[in-house]
A and B are shown apart, each in its own frame.
Chain A
Amino acid sequence: MSSFAAKMRQTWDQNILFSVLLELTYNCNLDCSFCYNEKGIQGKPLSREQYLELFQDLKSMSVFNLILSGGEPLAHKDFFFLGSKAREMGFVIRIKSNGHALHPATAKRLKEEVDPFSIEISLHGACAKTHDKQTRVPGSFVQLVKNLRTLKTLGIRFQLNSVLTRWNENEIADMYNLAEKFEVPLKFDSQVTPRDNGDQSPLEIAPSAQKLRELLQIQHNFREQTKADKAAQTATPRSYCGAGASTIAIDPVGNVFPCVQWRRKLGNLHRDKIRQIWENNAILTSIRQVNEEARKNILAQGEKVSRGAFCPGVADLMTGDASTIYPSVLLRSKLYEDILNRSGTDEKLTTE
C-alpha cells in the first residue's frame, strides 16, 4: 500500500485533480491594504446552479479537497447553501477566512451545516495596532481573538496564516506565542505578492532582510526539531508545484487558473466544463510543461536557489515569465545559506 505522501506525488505526476480552490467572492468585511484580489473584476458571477453543476463534475473527477476562499468567502450570499451542498457530496472542505465574521452563532452554524475540515485564518499582527493597521478596520484584532476563542470552544480545527511585512516584522515571536496560546499552527508566508492585476505597490511593505532572516531561522529550527522535511525530501514529483498538476483555482466569475497565485486564464465556466479544461486545454498543457521546466531549472541552479521558496505564479506576475528567478528568491536563498553555514549543518531544506 502506498503512503499518503506517495499518493500526493502521484497526483502531481499523473495530473490527477485533487484540490480545487473556489474564490467565491471578492467582497470582504475587511480592507487589507495589500489584498491581491482584483476588486474591479468584470464578468457575471457563477450562479448557485453553476456551482452545483461544478460540484457534480468535480465529484465525478474524484476531487477530494474543496477550498472555499475569497475575498471573504462568508461574504458570499450563498456561502452556507454551497458549503452544505459540498458537505453532502462528501468533499473535504477547507476554508480561508479572515475570521472577522466567525462570532458564536455563525461559527456554530458553520460547524453544523458545513463541517469544514479546517479553517485558515489570517493574522496580521500580535496586537490591535498592527493587525488593524493592515485590515483598516478598527477593532478587527479584538474581534478576531474573541472569534478564535469561540472556534476553540466549538472544537473547530483552524490554523493561522500570516504574511511577513514591514509592519508586523517586529512581532514574529509574539504572533507565534498567540498561536501557541490557541494551540494551533501559525504559517508565515515570507513573500508579499503583487496584486493579481500586476500592481506591485504591495511590495513596498515587504519585510526587511534582517527580520526575514529571523523568520527563516525560526522555521529552520522548527524543521530541525520536528524533522518535518524528511518526507518532503524524498519526494520527487515531476512538477515544481501542484499548480495545474493537481490543483486549480476558480475566481468568482468562473475564470479558471492553474492556482490562486498563477493567474494564467485557462478558460471560463460560463463557457467551458471543468473536465474539458483539465483534460484537454492547450494553455494548461503548456503550464504543466513550464512547471516541469521550473523544477529542472531550480534544481539546476543548485541547492542554494532551491531554498528560496520560488513560486512560478509569483515569477509570472513579477516578471512575465514563470521560470524567471526573482530577487526575493535570491535573498531568501542567501539568508538560508547563511543560517546553514552558522548552524554548521548541511541538511537540505525544501521550499514551502
Chain B
Amino acid sequence: MRIEPSIVLQLNSDVRQTRVADEGIILRQDDGEILVVNEVAIRFVELIDGQRSLGELADLLLQEYETEKSTLIADLAEYAGELVSQNVLNVVAP
C-alpha cells in the first residue's frame, strides 16, 4: 500500500518490541513471528504512537540522524508499507 506523509500509524495490539544493543526485536504475539530490525527501524517503531503523522515522525528522526528529509520520508514510507503488510502496523488516519 502507498503510505503518504500525512498518514498516522499505530502498532497492532499484539506487537511487542525492544532494543537489544544496536538493533531491535519485534514480536507479533498472535503468530509468534519475530523480526530483527536495525537501529533506525526500531527507533521509528518506538516513536509510533497513533497520534503523529509519518511526516512528524520523520521530523523527530531528523533530529537524531543526519539525512535528507525527502530521502528519509521516502524510506520511512516504504518501510512503513512493509510493516503494514507484515501486520506490525496499521493505519489509523486519514
Chain A residues engaging chain B, CB cutoff 8 angstroms = 1-4, 6-7, 10-11, 14, 16, 18, 62-64, 90-92, 115, 117, 157
Contacts and interface: CB of A to CB of B under 8 A. Distances in A.
B16 A2 contact: no
Interface of B: 13-14, 16-21, 23, 25, 27, 29, 32, 34, 36-38
Contact of A10 (B18, B20, B29, B32): B20
A190 B65 CA distance: 51
B20 A1 contact: no
B25 A7 contact: yes
B36 A14 contact: no
Contacts of A3: 36
Candidate in A11, A14, A62 with the most chain B CB atoms within 10 angstroms? A62
Contact of B20 (A7, A90, A92, A157): A7
Contact of B18 (A1, A4, A63, A117): A63
A92 B27 contact: yes
Contacts of B32: 117, 157
A16 B21 contact: yes
A64 B16 contact: yes
B18 A64 contact: yes
A1 B29 contact: no
13 contacts: A1-B37, A1-B38, A3-B36, A6-B36, A7-B21, A7-B23, A14-B21, A62-B18, A63-B18, A91-B16, A115-B14, A115-B29, A117-B32
Given A92-B27, A92-B29, A10 B21 contact: yes
B36 A117 contact: no
